């Protein structure tokens, strides 16, 4: 199988603003290129990134297609994760990020997937160091999605949000999260990476219609025990209350087969090691064991997966 793809983008810089056109990687909560495979996901279009004001970032974009992580061509439209409806021809976005308050970052985005949906995003991330070895973290993410134009994916009226809190005490980090989907369709998104909700994990996004889910996670930094660069992680997510019985039967989500009373869980274990020095410095190795189980009403398969990932950053002059 061909595992190559070429592309280029032209950039114009004026002061602290950059306008780019062509094939590029974009990172926003509503349109985001994933790099979790051999080939990164890319998008074709215009993107403006402006940082003229201290602590304020403004972005805007217009895209006509994006190439998936396993694609070897650029003419396959957009990557839509759940809907099998007819695709729109363009995707527009605008947003802002403000980080002028110590420890706090706030984001606001709006987007339009042509003739399919409008999606708005509100996010906030807060980090507070309480002592040299203690800190508190909170992440809030909220998406509001409604159909627009020809409604190619059917009727959509969806609000999805999550809150994830974390507490670090020395080498130990404990996290708890809650996520809620209000709507008769799943939370859907364009591009693989445009899902910033807290309970979207390895095998499941926990984004089914009307689903409520919670997460518990533990991370252990082994540097405190004489192994710098090694982090061990374990998480558990459980979702319930899934009800897809009112989905638009003429839309793009009926094929998923959601029922009522859907419930499922996922357990992820990971060991991640980053080489600290020597010729292989910054080489990252990750070994994951993931398990997903659920009843038939939640519409996802039972899965056991072992995944080994190797990453090595290359510095270009």
pLDDT in tens, 74-117: 566 888 999 998 889 999 999 999 999 999 999 999 999 999 99
* Residue 33 counted as domain residue: no
- Residue 163 in domain: yes
* No. of helices (H) and no. of strands (E), the chain: 0, 15
Structural domain contains residue 283: yes
CATH number at residue 95: 2.40.160.10
pLDDT of residue 79: 87
Mean pLDDT of 155-163: 98
Give the residue numbers spanning the domain of 123.
82-311
> Total domain count for the chain?
1
Mean pLDDT of the chain: 92
- Per the structure block, which two tokens stand in for 84? 């099998």
Q: What percent of the chain has pLDDT over 90?
A: 79
Contact 93, 59 (CB under 8 A): yes
pLDDT category of residue 167 using cuts at 50, 70 and 90: very high
Note whether residue 188 is domain-resident.
yes
Section 125-147 average pLDDT? 97
Which pLDDT value is given to residue 75? Answer: 62
Q: Check residue 3 and give its pLDDT.
A: 54
The dihedral formed by the CA atoms of 203, 207, 210 and 214, expressed in degrees to the nearest 10: 70
**Given a cut of 70, is residue 32 above it in pLDDT?**
yes
pLDDT band at 252 (very low <50, low <70, confident <90, very high): very high
0.85 surpassed by pTM: yes
């Amino acid at each position: 199988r061909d595992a190559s793809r070429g592309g280029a983008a032209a950039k114009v810089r004026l002061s602290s603003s950059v306008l780019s056109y062509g094939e590029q990687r974009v990172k926003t909560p509503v349109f985001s290129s994933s790099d979790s495979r051999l080939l990164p996901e890319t998008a074709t279009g215009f993107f403006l990134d402006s940082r003229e004001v201290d602590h304020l970032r403004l972005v805007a974009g217009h895209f006509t297609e994006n190439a998936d992580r396993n694609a070897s061509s650029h003419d396959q439209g957009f990557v839509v994760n759940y809907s099998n409806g007819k695709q729109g021809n363009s995707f527009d976005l605008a947003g802002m990020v403000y980080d002028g308050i110590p420890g706090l970052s706030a984001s606001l985005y709006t987007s339009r997937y042509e003739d399919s949906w409008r999606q708005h995003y509100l996010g906030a991330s807060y980090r507070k160091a309480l002592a040299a070895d203690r800190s508190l973290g909170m992440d809030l993410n909220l998406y509001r999605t409604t159909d627009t134009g020809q409604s190619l994916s059917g009727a959509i009226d969806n609000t999805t949000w999550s809150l994830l809190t974390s507490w670090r005490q020395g080498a130990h980090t404990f996290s708890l999260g809650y996520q809620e989907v209000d709507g008769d369709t799943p939370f859907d998104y364009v591009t693989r990476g445009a899902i910033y909700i807290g309970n979207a994990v390895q095998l499941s996004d926990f984004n089914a219609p009307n689903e409520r889910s919670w997460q518990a996670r533990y991370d252990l930094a082994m540097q405190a025990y004489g192994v710098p660069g090694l982090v061990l992680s374990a998480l558990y997510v459980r979702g319930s209350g899934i009800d897809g019985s009112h989905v638009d039967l003429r839309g793009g989500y009926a094929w998923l087969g959601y029922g009522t009373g859907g419930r499922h869980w996922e357990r992820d274990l990971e060991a991640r090691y980053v080489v600290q020095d020597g010729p292989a410095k910054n080489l990252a190795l990750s070994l994951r064991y993931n398990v997903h189980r659920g009843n038939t009403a939640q519409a996802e398969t039972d899965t056991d997966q072992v995944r080994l990932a190797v990453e090595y950053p290359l510095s270009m002059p």
